[in-house]
Chain A
Amino acid sequence: MLDQVLYAIPFLLPGLLVTIEVSLITVAISTVIGVALGVGLVYGQWPLRWAIRGFSDIIRGIPILVLLFFVYYGLPLTGINLNNFAAAVLGLTIFKIAQVIEYVRGAIESVPRGQMDAAKSIGLPFHERLAYVIAPQALRRFLPPWLNGVTDAVKGSALISLLGVGDLLFGIQKVVGRTYEPLALYCFGALVYFALNYALSLASRALERRFSYIRE
């Protein structure tokens, strides 16, 4: 059984890299866009707020797998053809953006209203109020769910093997198909996912400690 696992490792390595790559891209893009839209949701004019609220509610109400299939199989019907890697990244990113929007909203709303008043009263314009007063305080509330979301992204990325993207799970399935040793290989696969996420959660705990000095 150990033989099987050792045999599989070289085949799984590229898949592991794809899983990491997809997770990284998804997290990076969704964070940038999600933060911008989250700020828009809290501070925007009503048409903008309304649009972002609608987007977030709809996306969060759809199972992630349905979203992936929609992007991969549905978009080509509108003339947008994406290869399976791009479709996978797009689907996961859209899903994650909706989550980040809600983390940002919750984090900003956790900052007492008086902070914005005080920042206004010393004459800071909007972007500086955000950068120097609201963001540093909101960050502490934003980090824990966001870091959780990073592990979710790694786990959720396993779904993209269903689009034929050669990620870690896809690699495992290929080796299983050759060796007929599902139990050992899936156990090994679970272990690799776990190791990856455990490393992430250790890193995130360190990061949270780093920002815990900010008190009310």
Chain B
Amino acid sequence: MSGKPTGATPLLRIKGVQKSFGSTHVLRGIDLDVARGEVVTIIGPSGGGKTTLLRCVNFLETYDRGSITIDGAEVGYRDGEARKRRTETDLARMRAETGMVFQLFNLFPHLTAAQNITLGLTRVRGLGRAEAGDKAMHWLKRVGLADKAGHLPSELSGGQQQRVGIARAVAMEPKILLLDEITSALDPELIGEVLDVVLSLAADGMTMLIVTHEIGFARDASHRIVFMAEGTVGAEAPPAEIFSPNQPNERLRSFLGRFSAAHRL
């Protein structure tokens, strides 16, 4: 993807973030910026902390050290007061600004596709029922599921569920969208329909931080690719540089090498 946006200050700024689960040091000082309108993709070996980092960005996970800011506001902790957790209301308000799409979809099973989308619109954004319904319909159309509005998630295919998951997240008009391996639970023939939706959002200028094992998709969709391993950022560059045969980072080269061997890219 071309035309990398250039913002003065980044929308998302991750600085020196560290995180441990018990004695496992999962994030060992992560620095990463995402500019407005930029699509950044994180790749890397399993267990490297990619999911954990994404979950820290909307405070589904606490972090021990460092700072994460969105539009200058500290995520999870009060500005200026180190390590003081925000109030529940404050956290909820901030989380509404970051959309998240999950590997296992996590649709609300007791609500229809449309209701999955309107819940946040009415409760969090304060829209009226009619307005929320219109907006849900707009996004369902956008992901190609206008005819499934009244269906429960259990009545949809995996690919359809994930597209509802994306619609639920973007309908909230978040500042940034976080996508964690959103196609890895899907049958291969359903992956394309989901990635197409992501590409069309990217074309609209949606800011996205993506974790994926779809290396080809990462190359096509991203302005920048970040290679993360063992809790650190190993390399960070535009796709052309990352995939260049002269890539200086040994670990990244061997990671990509294993990929092309496995996937015959």
Contact = CB atoms under 8 A, between A and B. Distances in A.
A120 B169 CA distance: 11
A78 interface: no
Given A136-B110, A215-B109, A125 B89 contact: yes
Contacts of B1: none
B107 interface: yes
Contacts of A123: 92-97, 120, 124, 172
Residue among A114, A123, A137, A215 having the largest count of chain B Cβ atoms under 10 Å: A123
A133 B108 contact: yes
A128 B91 CA distance: 13
Given A114-B102, A128-B123, A132-B123, A120 B110 contact: no
Contacts, number: 75
A136 B226 CA distance: 40
Contact of B108 (A115, A125, A128): A115
B106 A114 contact: yes
Interface in B3-54: none
Interface residues of A, number: 21
Contacts of B92: 120, 123-126
Nearest to A133: B108
B100 A121 contact: yes
Interface of B: 55, 58-60, 88-89, 91-100, 102, 104, 106-110, 119-120, 123-124, 152, 154, 168-169, 172
Given A117-B55, A118-B107, A120-B60, 9 more contacts: A112-B106, A117-B100, A117-B102, A118-B100, A122-B124, A122-B168, A122-B172, A125-B89, A137-B110
Interface of A: 112, 114-115, 117-126, 128, 132-133, 136-137, 214-216
